[in-house]
Structure 1
Amino acid sequence: MGDEQLGLAGATSIGLGGMIGGGVFSVLGVVATVAGSAAWAAFTAASLISMCAAYSYVKLNRLADARGGSVSMIEEFVGSATLAGMVGWTLLFGYVGAVAMYAFAFGGFAERLAGMQSVLGLPFRPVASVVAVAGFVALNAVGARATGTSEEVLVGLKIAILLVIGGWGLYYGHTVNRLAFGLSKLTDLGFVTAVAISFVSFQGWQLVMYDQDSIRDPESIVPKAVYVSIVGAIVVDSMIAVLVTSLVSTQAIAAHPEIAVARAVRPFLGHLGFVAVAVAALFSTGSAINGTLFSAANFAKGMLSDGLLPDRLGDASAGGAPVRTVLALGAVAAAFTVYGSLDGITSFGSLAFMVVFGAMSYLAFTRRDADEVDINAAVPALGVLGTATFFPILLWHLYTAQRSVFYSVAGISVAVVAVELLYFERDELEDGLPGIGEHV
């Protein structure tokens, strides 16, 4: 963002840009496959739990001595560098999963636009996804990023296009009597599972917390930007979810969940509409990759300055995003998007953000009696309850319905926790296993 000071519109675009790219163009197909016509309600329910976490972040941000995200807050309020570091690493892997999710959708739309199944003997979708990640890694490595004004314009165009298409599609669905809202599905286990899956699409507002130094009057603008971006995502996601589940069969969505939105416009806009949505999706998911990489790299830079990441992952004194950090994040995201499924990537991201959002809601609940800030205890309590409920439900769904995805997500999670413990408890391990410090 350079030295540009962001107002409410610019700050809101930071949070909303990623959430639109994640909800409409990345996660929607997976959620619709599970919840059917109740997908809109699943997004809404997930956003409300995310709103509780956002409330907790905003209140803790006012209590904290230094502005920042979950890591700085945990360090200040809990006083545990190990816990803060583990939460930070979990968030970083969640962001890597989000980048992989955006890249997966980018590759899916690119494949459809190109009309090719392979390139140079390799599957087209993974190649396009890796190229997208590599391109934005290169842009971030050289310090290129859209200005606040251009971000506002891009996000505004995305929302305008989706609102026009959504409104037109809903009108068409009404005229042919095909609109479905799935109210009878709200008590099904599949609906609850879909809420858990869609959680990853409502994490973009966190990026506002990391850009506070670039925001004019952050104490006033940050809370507004966070809440407005979540509400905006609810409206757009819900509208497009009704459109997709009303006009596209569940079987067709399940076959190609990454292009569900583009398929939904064909009945009333034809092939031209499909192409227009696909192009919009490329811009949307591309900007989401770029923004998330940039913010995750700067988030990691703060962890490097606090000694919560190995020095070899980046230079904390670098001006802008550390190059090695951007390369490392991009490499892991590229691996995820090549070897993972969209279901697996979205599930992993949702689980990671549920852990962090639940922890921050609990932290805010413990500060409910603070004199400096008025905290309504019911809000963070609902955040804790929601994340604690949906986390095991999502795991159970993966275990019973997608066993291979469950094992891959469980394996990655165990590996992440093991590496975290190895890094943060290395002093204790060195005492018990002399020589291990030479390799950590």
Structure 2
Amino acid sequence: MKQDHKAFGLWSAVFLGIGSMVGAGIFVLLGEAGAIAGNLVWVSFIFGGIIALLSGYSLAKLAAAYPSRGGIVEYLVQCYGEGVFSGSVSVLFYLSAMVAIAMVAKTFGTYTTMMIIGQDNKFWVDIFSVGILLTFMFINLAGASIIAKSENIIVIFKLSILILFTIIAFFYINPDLLSIKDAPPIKNIFSSIALTFFAYEGFRVITNTAEDMENPAKLMLKSMIIAILFVMTLYIAVTFAVFGNLPLPEIIKAKDYALAEAAKPAFGEMGFKIMAIAAL
């Protein structure tokens, strides 16, 4: 008897997790986190990554035990049954997901507006934000196979640009900008962990692939750990590249498109546009 082909293998799930995390994190939160933790944001990203690893471990175990596209909502039902409590918590979960999606959509709108219009314009930010939401809604409706294939392409493209930017930007780093003497108090680092952990928020999306994964008991935890560790390493490297190339006030000023702004010292205006494309 012919078995149904599963859309997600190890690397498809890893790419989905990486794409979800990077899209929701590094392009959005560098400026915000930098305003709190200064040039020690990289330390905050380490703590955020550790928390994500611990959470990811628990979710991966649940996903292996209860393979479902429902993800966290399914685990709530399995634990508490179908009732008011599980339903209420599920609604709160979906509301938090909506906030995360809105943030990512706004970032897309901001980067697109800066690249096409050349200046921040609320009307066009809203138009582009809604446009990307509709685009990915139709991709999701197309099914798991389309999601897996499109995510692989998007992630490879995005990571190629980010890694290239990071490597080249390291040659332009000004060590004085990373000096510990200019660092904020230690308590600020802990205050910024909520933001940097949010940059890993997309890791839970991996659990939604369990029903479409070849062997979730074997691959789920492995894909979760690989994705989070890779993103943690990437975030730390990018943070050094950005904060080593731009003074903190400039990063905060360009907080909605700090990565693109940080590409200017090494790549000029073309670097800004290329990084803006990667953010899309």
TM-score interval for Structure 1 and Structure 2 normalised by the shorter chain: 0.7 to 0.9
**Mind listing any 5+ residue stretches in structure 2 that lack a counterpart?**
none
Equivalent in the alignment of 2:124: 124
- Partners of 1:268 and 1:151 in 2: CA distance: 29
Call closer, same or farther: CA 1:254–1:125 in 2, change over 3 Å.
same
What displacement does 1:234 show? 0.3
TM-superposition CA deviations, 1:71-95 (whole Å, max 9, x none): 3223323446333222221221121
Call closer, same or farther: CA 1:86–1:59 in 2, change over 3 Å.
same
Matches within 5 A, 1:24-423: 24-62=26-64, 64=65, 67=68, 69-79=71-81, 81-117=83-119, 123-140=123-140, 146-173=146-173, 176-178=174-176, 180=178, 182=180, 185=183, 188-282=186-280
TM-superposition CA deviations, 1:121-177 (whole Å, max 9, x none): x6332232223223333554566973523422321222222112111111221xx53
- Partners of 2:100 and 2:73 in 1: CA distance: 19
Please tell me whether the aligned partners of residues 35 and 191 of structure 1 are also in contact (alpha carbons under 8 angstroms).
yes
User: Which residue identity lines up with residue 148 of structure 2 in the other structure?
Assistant: G
User: Which residue identity lines up with residue 253 of structure 2 in the other structure?
Assistant: A
What displacement does 1:114 show? 1.6
Higher relative contact order (CA 8 A, sep 6+): 2
- Partners of 1:157 and 1:88 in 2: CA distance: 34
Equivalent in the alignment of 1:329: none
User: Which residue identity lines up with residue 211 of structure 2 in the other structure?
Assistant: D
- Partners of 1:186 and 1:232 in 2: CA distance: 27
Call closer, same or farther: CA 1:77–1:144 in 2, change over 3 Å.
closer
* Percent of residue pairs bearing the same amino acid type: 24
What displacement does 1:258 show? 1.4
**Mind listing any 5+ residue stretches in structure 1 that lack a counterpart?**
283-440
Call closer, same or farther: CA 1:185–1:90 in 2, change over 3 Å.
farther
TM-superposition CA deviations, 1:28-73 (whole Å, max 9, x none): 22112221111111111111111111112223345x4555533322
**SS of structure 2 residue aligned to 1:228:** helix
The alignment's C-alpha RMSD in Å is 2.6
Q: Could you say which structure has the larger radius of gyration? A: 1
- Partners of 1:61 and 1:55 in 2: CA distance: 10
**SS of structure 1 residue aligned to 2:261:** helix
Please tell me whether the aligned partners of residues 21 and 202 of structure 2 are also in contact (alpha carbons under 8 angstroms).
yes
- Partners of 1:181 and 1:55 in 2: CA distance: 35
User: Which residue identity lines up with residue 35 of structure 2 in the other structure?
Assistant: T
- Partners of 2:143 and 2:66 in 1: CA distance: 29
TM score, norm. by length of structure 2: 0.87
Equivalent in the alignment of 1:11: 13
Call closer, same or farther: CA 1:73–1:143 in 2, change over 3 Å.
closer
Call closer, same or farther: CA 1:54–1:95 in 2, change over 3 Å.
same
- Partners of 1:144 and 1:59 in 2: CA distance: 21
Please tell me whether the aligned partners of residues 70 and 87 of structure 1 are also in contact (alpha carbons under 8 angstroms).
no
Please tell me whether the aligned partners of residues 53 and 228 of structure 2 are also in contact (alpha carbons under 8 angstroms).
yes
User: Which residue identity lines up with residue 72 of structure 2 in the other structure?
Assistant: S
- Partners of 1:71 and 1:135 in 2: CA distance: 25
User: Which residue identity lines up with residue 48 of structure 2 in the other structure?
Assistant: A
Q: How many residues align?
A: 276
TM score, norm. by length of structure 1: 0.57
What displacement does 1:27 show? 1.7
**SS of structure 2 residue aligned to 1:95:** helix
Please tell me whether the aligned partners of residues 32 and 241 of structure 1 are also in contact (alpha carbons under 8 angstroms).
no
